[in-house]
């Protein structure tokens, strides 16, 4: 169930970003995509990180049925999108990221064994 919910939430995130004109028009360079900084903040805007790193990696996790990692992306999005969008265009994006964070959290609760390892 978590994979279905996550896949749907990623679709909605992408659509929400496009409707809010937050979907990047240019693909980052190969070098920019290699950033080791959180959210690739040193090489690209947050929206580009979402579009070209976060969403593709999460789709891979869904496709391969890999463990969904714990995450808390919404607070970073809230800070970044609030500071760069006067008209609160990012509000829907933040709300969708909150849903994705909640799906990941529910996965952690549901699929962790007693010994703390994933089943």
What pLDDT was estimated at residue 112?
56
Six token digits for residue 73 = 């992306």
Neighbouring residues of 85: CB distance < 8 A, sequence distance ≥ 6: 22
Q: Residue 32: how many CB atoms within 10 A of its CB?
A: 16
| pLDDT tens-digit map of 67-118 | 999 999 999 998 888 766 555 678 899 999 999 999 999 887 665 554 455 4
How confident is the prediction for the chain on average, in pLDDT? 87
Six token digits for residue 34 = 């290699």
Percent of the chain whose pLDDT exceeds 90: 67
DSSP letters spanning 16-62: HHHHTT-S-SSPPPHHHHT--SGGGTTTS-HHHHIIIIIHHHHHHHH
| pLDDT tens-digit map of 24-77 | 999 999 999 899 898 998 999 999 999 999 999 999 999 999 999 999 999 999
């Amino acid at each position: 169930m978590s994979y279905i919910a996550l896949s749907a939430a990623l679709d909605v995130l992408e659509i929400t970003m496009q409707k809010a004109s937050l979907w990047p028009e240019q693909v980052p360079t190969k070098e920019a995509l290699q950033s080791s900084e959180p959210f690739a903040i040193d090489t690209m805007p947050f929206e580009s990180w979402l579009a070209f790193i976060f969403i593709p990696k999460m789709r891979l996790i869904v496709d391969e049925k890999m463990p969904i990692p714990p995450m808390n992306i919404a607070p970073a999005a809230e800070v970044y999108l609030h500071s760069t969008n006067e008209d609160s265009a990012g509000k829907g994006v933040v709300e969708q990221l909150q849903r994705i964070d909640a799906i990941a959290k529910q996965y952690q609760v549901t699929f962790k064994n007693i010994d703390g390892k994933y089943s």
